[in-house]
Each structure stands twice: as structure tokens, then as C-alpha cells.
Structure 1
């Protein structure tokens, strides 16, 4: 995916997410192979979105912040 041109706010969010991936997933522990690293990626993303506290949104997880997951806009 691409970020919108001339939007440093968006680019900063992407850069911060990439840094988090590096420190909390990719290099958080030694892996025996790239395949074993890929196996835990889904678990990390699940943790990141549902359980990990994010200071930028008041200590909530992103899924706690989303109010309309079903797509019902009424």
C-alpha cells in the first residue's frame, strides 16, 4: 500500500508501525528461519490490534477504538 503524497502525518504513522514491527516482532526474539518468523506474524498483528495498549489513543487497543465493525451506520 502507498501513503498519500504530501501527508507527513500518514507517513509518520507508517514509519512508526514499521519500527514497532521491527522491535516487537521481527527482532524481538531469535527465529530459526524466515518461515518460523512468518508463522508468528499473524499472532503479532492480532495482539497489536486487539490487546496491545497504544499511548496515542489513550492506552486503548485499536479494536477498542473502532465503534462500527459491522458496517451498520445507523
Structure 2
């Protein structure tokens, strides 16, 4: 086993993470002016809930990510 590092900002090897980071910057972190960093932090949880439970993703056939995960808190069946 050998530990390998990927180069930063390299879509061929870490494209999903790069795309999520770009989405965070565009739709959450810099989408509007926040009065403080704590106000920005407070909005993060709501953004993630919207992203994971209500926003459809074309890469997974129009589903929401929470529909693809079967072991969410409170969802054990």
C-alpha cells in the first residue's frame, strides 16, 4: 500500500470536491453580504440542509443526495 497525494485544483482527480467547493463559494459563502463571520456560519447549516434534502442533482438522476444515503440519523429502515 502506498499513500498518494493529488494535486490541488485538479479536476481529473478531485473534480467532485472542486465542484462542491465552487458551489459553496457561489451559493453560500459569497452569495450575499453577511454582517459578520458568525452570521455566515449560522447560515451554513441551512444551506447544507437545502443542498442535501431539497436540491436535485443531475449527476444522480435528478434525486436529492439524502435519497441515496440509507443510514441518515433517524432513517434506519
3-state secondary structure, aligned to 1:53: coil
- TM-score of the two chains, using structure 1 as the length reference: 0.76
List alignment gaps of at least 5 residues for structure 2: 7-11
Structure 1 moving runs of 4+ over 6 Å: none
Of structures 1 and 2, the larger Rg is shown by 2
Q: Where does residue 55 of structure 2 map in the other structure?
A: 52
- Report the counterpart of residue 23 of structure 2 in structure 1: 20
Gaps of 5+ in 1: none
Structure 1 vs Structure 2 CA RMSD? 1.9
TM-score (norm 2): 0.74
Return the alpha-carbon distance in structure 1 between the equivalents of residues 20 and 39 of structure 2. Answer: 21
